[in-house]
């Protein structure tokens, strides 16, 4: 097993970096966590299409936010794109005071225990402005906690800025 976390800002090149790292593998399972594209969102559809176009034709794509079973199973390398969108699907979980949501604990445990080669992409949202809404601050804080927890269990952590990857660990 080998776990790599790649973080960076929006449009920083983090997904392309993750894809580049697995391009030579004969088989890759690309896990898209965004779910279906809303029919009225042309911008999002264009982003998804750009990602699809970049991927090698021999990769398999699975659209799901249910990551722990994939991390626990044996199989080809996983490219998870991305943990930020995974959080969007799980943000409604309300943990007891002072605790992490069960879904986050399960994700981190599965990441730590995986027997697969896996690369996860995530956004770095904590370096920007303070969100104006309580929900925005909750999202930013939760993403920071997820990133820190997954990074702590990773073999490598990279930060991509302006298309340039820098190894953090």
CB atoms closer than 10 angstroms to residue 74: 7
How far CA 49 is from CA of 15, 37, 44, 55, in Å, comes to 13, 10, 9, 10
Q: Give the C-alpha separation, 75 to 64, whole Å.
A: 16
Which residue in the list 51, 58, 90, 159 is annotated as catalytic? Answer: 51
Helix (H, G, I), strand (E, B), or coil: what is residue 42? helix
90 is catalytic: no
The residues that are catalytic are 51
């Amino acid at each position: 097993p080998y776990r790599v976390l790649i973080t960076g800002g929006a449009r920083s090149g983090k997904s392309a970096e993750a894809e580049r790292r697995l391009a030579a593998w004969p088989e890759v399972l690309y896990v898209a966590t965004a779910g279906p594209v809303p029919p009225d969102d042309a911008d999002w559809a264009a982003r998804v299409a750009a990602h699809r176009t970049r991927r090698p034709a021999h990769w398999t794509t699975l659209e799901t936010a249910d990551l722990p079973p994939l991390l626990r199973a044996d199989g080809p390398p996983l490219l998870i794109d991305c943990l930020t969108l995974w959080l969007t699907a799980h943000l409604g979980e309300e943990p007891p005071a002072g605790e992490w949501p069960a879904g986050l604990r399960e994700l981190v445990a599965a990441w730590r225990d995986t027997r697969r080669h896996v690369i996860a992409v995530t956004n770095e949202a904590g370096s920007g402005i303070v969100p104006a809404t309580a929900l925005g601050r909750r999202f930013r804080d939760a993403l920071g906690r997820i990133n820190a927890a997954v990074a702590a269990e990773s073999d490598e952590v990279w930060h991509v800025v302006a298309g340039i990857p820098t190894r953090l660990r």
